[in-house]
Copies of this chain bind each other. A is one copy, B any other.
Amino acid sequence: MTTETQSPAPKRSVSEMLIGRPLETRTLAHQVVSKKVGLAVFASDAISSTAYATEEILVILALTGTMAYFGLAVPIAIAIAILLVIVTISYRQTIFAYPNGGGAYIVARENLGQTAALVAGSALLTDYVLTVAVSISSGVAQIVSAFPDLAPFRVALAVGIIAFVTLVNLRGVRESGVIFAVPTYFFLVMMGITLIVGFYRWATGTLGIVTGVEMVEGTIAPLTLFLILRAFSSGSTALTGIEAISNGITAFKEPKSRNAAMTLTAMSSILIVLFLGITFLSRHIEAIPSHHETIISQLARTVFGEGSPLYLLVIAGTALVLLMAANTSYADFPRLAALQAADGFLPRQLTYRGGRLVFSWGIMALALAATVLVVVLRASTTALIPLYAIGVFLSFTLSQTGMVIHARKIGRLQPGEKIKGVDTDLEYDPNWRLHMIISGIGATLTFIVMVIFAITKFTSGAWFVIVLIPLLVLLFSRIHTHYQDVAQALSLENAVQPRMPSEEVVTVLLVDGVHMGTLEMVDFAKALGNPWRAVHVGVNPEKSETTKRKWEKYIGEGELLILPSPYRHLLAPIREYVVSLLQANPRRIVHIVMGHLAMDSVFTQVLHQNSSLILNLGLTGLERVVVTIVPVQIYHDDAGEAVNQNMLTGDSLKKARQEREQRSHSEHHKSIRQAADEQSEES
């Protein structure tokens, strides 16, 4: 028992230790990133897809049952690279057209209307969750391949990594950007060395072919145009993540659009170099899609030699960048959710910035959804992949369709004309036709890829996303209608009826028992100066008797009305009584006053009935009724004893407790009973 009177440590110390000290609102503008950090934050998702895109093409081509057609991978990859170039150019246009952030949601909202915007929003939010789940599951799979002993802890590992990434992001985007820059650049350097050494050895003729790999087995299918398209669409997973920068323009340093566009171009260039390089070299080492070894591993092994330290570094970098890819979603999901919430399509809480100025609710929502996915699908990348990428291509299509409309709007302007808009301004541009054609081609191609995706992966999981997105759109619409209705109902401008001010307040004291707290309550009612009356709900006839007697003894003024409650309900008799008071005068306010025992811990609080909280909720549905809670504080003083400061000091309570203990055996028992009686008087 300590007698020190140190002030207690501030309550948020644990949270401060984990996520840092709270930041002031005025520091908001400083939470932005440079191009280099921006590349790491926003590009890891897109770039990490090179770790599997080539493999996805080969997996489909392997369905022909022969390696003869693997050569097709190179032209398919080139086609995908062209698609990537078109999408990149289209998104550069968007970044300049929408300097305040031009994600698919905003572009669709501005040009295609609310429903298209909600579809784009739902698609992107779904895909951000999947990015986290897929990337982390896939990263864990790499770790587990290297350390098979960890296999039983796959799910726990994945959940743990999600928790870690969540924590890092709750600290704020700049710090998380620095943390994540290292692994992303490490991966880029390692892959760069792999490609340079690989091409050098290929040019000098010293690049061998891969050995000891078993090809995946499956049902044999003939080589058809459909199969080639399927391989093309599978390889198009390389494009996932490309849209991240256009959503996050505002996170860049000024000039935002220019920096963001430059970062996008850098990212796409890196992506194309890596993707084509890996595909080209894979073809030359005769890499084979396998269940046991990834294409990246086969390539690095062949280039550097089995067990070389460089080989291990490439694998480590690949695993790391996959884990870091998840971070892209942590940068974008909360920002998009906040945007949709500000428009009233998602719960408004998503717009609140937490202590570290990040959208904490959005980060938590993403972490929760990804954790559920990972746990339900047991961190299996195989189970997650078919759900993935449809959303991205749907949002690509909508975004680029929106840019077609945008270009058409500009085309209708007079030269030099400028129209002020909500998200961006419309300004005449003589190249609008070119912009329109580029966006149109992009929209068409991404639409085709999405349809092929949806058809070829429908039964293996894509159906879930196809069902989910319309449901989300419906949900978002309903939320929006609700917010609009509330705004309309509360609006002072649109009020249709003149208000009738209330003229009388009647105070009703709810009395559960008569004790110190009751005195405080009566005190308050008297100090208010309005007419008051006291009622007691007669759940237990004996107790009602005691209460009435004690009321007369200790309060001695006003009558205590006993409301009968044969079914032992607390709320119903009070409601009935209050309604009758309201009906007596339509301009009367009924002011209900009730006590509440306030304890200092949840453990002690749940030992009490806490009926005030329940009654409070139960009475908010009544018009012209306000509820007041008079708390009585019972808390632990330095000596660790419960004490109501008004009445007993810690010492006197301690003495009282010692006296209790000194009482004789039978008396002790009686005192228990008596304490129980006193006890039951709480409200």
Contacts and interface: CB of A to CB of B under 8 A. Distances in A.
Interface of A: 22-26, 109-110, 113-114, 342-344, 347-349, 352-355, 421-422, 479-492, 494-497, 499, 501-505, 514-517, 519, 523-524, 526-530, 539-541, 550, 554, 566-568, 589, 591, 593, 596-598, 600, 604, 606-609, 616, 619-623, 625-635, 641-649, 652-653, 656-657, 660, 665-666, 668-670, 672-676, 678-682
A114 B668 contact: yes
A347 to B, nearest CB: 5
Nearest to A496: B652
Contacts of A630: 626
Contact of A489 (B519, B591, B626, B648): B648
Given A25-B568, A347-B607, A644 B489 contact: yes
Contacts of A496: 647-649, 652
A106 B349 CA distance: 53
A620 B598 contact: yes
Contacts of A566: 24-26
Contact of A499 (B344, B483, B646): B646
Given A646-B497, A672-B343, A516 B489 contact: yes
Contact of A343 (B515, B653, B673): B673
A422 B669 CA distance: 8
Nearest to A354: B568
B485 A657 contact: yes
A483 B631 contact: no
Contacts of A114: 668, 672
20 contacts: A113-B665, A354-B568, A483-B679, A488-B653, A488-B656, A489-B647, A490-B647, A490-B681, A491-B515, A495-B647, A496-B652, A497-B647, A501-B523, A504-B527, A505-B524, A529-B530, A591-B628, A619-B631, A621-B631, A622-B631
A673 B422 contact: yes
Interface of A is mostly: mixed
A421 B665 CA distance: 12
B597 A486 contact: yes
A678 B487 contact: yes
Contacts of A502: 523-524, 527
A349 to B, nearest CB: 7
A218 to B, nearest CB: 31
Nearest to A347: B607
Contacts of A593: 626
A519 B491 contact: no
B422 A670 contact: yes
A476 to B, nearest CB: 12
Nearest to A668: B114
Given A422-B673, A524-B589, A626-B628, A486 B642 contact: yes
Contacts of A539: 25
Contact of A492 (B516, B609, B642): B516
A483 B634 CA distance: 11
A221 to B, nearest CB: 37
Contact of A485 (B491, B497, B523, B634): B634
Contacts of A343: 672-673, 676
Contacts of A481: 657
Nearest to A654: B485
A529 B527 contact: no
B527 A503 contact: yes
A623 B646 contact: yes
A624 to B, nearest CB: 9
A494 B523 CA distance: 19
A483 B680 CA distance: 10
Residue among A109, A494, A646, A672 having the largest count of chain B Cβ atoms under 10 Å: A672
A505 B482 contact: no
B528 A505 contact: yes
A558 B673 CA distance: 53
Contact of A623 (B516, B633, B676): B633
A67 B470 CA distance: 71
Contacts of A641: 485
Contacts of A24: 566-567
A556 B653 CA distance: 51
Given A114-B668, A647-B497, A665-B113, A483 B676 contact: yes
A643 to B, nearest CB: 6
A648 B488 contact: yes
B490 A678 contact: yes
Given A496-B652, A529-B529, A673-B422, A490 B505 contact: no
B348 A485 contact: no
B673 A527 contact: no
A675 B625 contact: no
A516 B495 contact: yes
B669 A110 contact: yes
A12 to B, nearest CB: 10
A91 to B, nearest CB: 22
A355 B567 contact: yes
A262 to B, nearest CB: 30
A524 B502 CA distance: 7
